[in-house]
A = this chain, B = another copy of it.
């Protein structure tokens, strides 16, 4: 097997790229813009050109490159075909085939949230666990499920879509997916802001949140400062997220939940609110799950896609 691996994470505004050795050490890291115009037709050629240029620059032989891993924001089937990626402008796109043709190197493709889970298991907060669920609390909620060291991609590439797990029966507002009561409506950065607005409306209690822009960060900063209104928001957040984690645990009994995304910057304090609800709702045999923070941040995707290549070579 070749000694070098490219890990690529395709986002809506930029493509993150990493060059790794087989041990997972970063040799080089850079970004290129994502050109989404014209149905995103330039994205894959741009990536291929950047990789080919890097190979030339490093004076590698093609045989020295084990492969290219690519994380994309959309469902991916077993043949490396993406079934629409709205943020990239893509319709059905055979990513694996195109990259292999343009670069002359084997390619592996995965969904970005799933691939991030693989990255966190390999080099991040999930190290030491072979059975884990990555929960990414960002603008929405993404997820990635790993069982016995392998990604659970699902029959239609929709494995780990835990942001759209139904967790509340009496919700009136609709989620982006069209359903009502999805986990994402409460636990994402936007969900926390929504919860905070509701709590602020239903009380008159003074709160620093009344004088600042309400963001997930502002809420947890206020929690740390002892703000009672913010604490009430964190309790609702924790109650619902803990319930959702318990539902996942009853299906999978994972060894660990790895929590990442922008909201996770609040740190371990999140678990003080999530864990009590988790323990209330979880099946007794599943209660030992560990809660850990993701550590790779925005690099989880490039690590994970490099790991896709290593796993495919086994």
Contact = CB atoms under 8 A, between A and B. Distances in A.
Interface string A144-179: 010110101111111111101110110000000111
Given A162-B251, A177-B283, 4 more contacts: A154-B253, A155-B253, A160-B253, A165-B251
Nearest to A129: B155
A75 interface: yes
Contacts of A162: 250-251
B131 A154 contact: yes
A246 to B, nearest CB: 6
Contacts of A253: 153-161
Contacts of A251: 143, 145, 159-162, 165, 247-248, 251-252
Given A147-B147, A147-B152, A285 B75 contact: yes
A93 interface: no
Interface in A176-221: 177-179
Given A152-B252, A246-B166, A281 B158 contact: no
Interface residues of A, number: 45
A261 interface: no
A256 to B, nearest CB: 8
17 contacts: A147-B152, A154-B252, A156-B253, A158-B253, A158-B283, A158-B285, A159-B253, A160-B253, A161-B251, A164-B283, A165-B247, A165-B250, A178-B284, A179-B281, A247-B247, A247-B251, A251-B252
A286 interface: yes
A304 interface: no
A96 interface: no
Nearest to A147: B152
A73 interface: no
Contacts of A254: 154-155
Interface string A285-302: 110110000000000000
Contact of A286 (B161, B168, B246, B249): B161
Given A155-B288, A286-B156, A281 B161 contact: no
Contacts of A164: 250, 283
A46 to B, nearest CB: 27
A148 B145 contact: no
A275 interface: no
Interface string A259-297: 000000000000000000000110111101100000000
A86 to B, nearest CB: 12
A283 B147 CA distance: 21
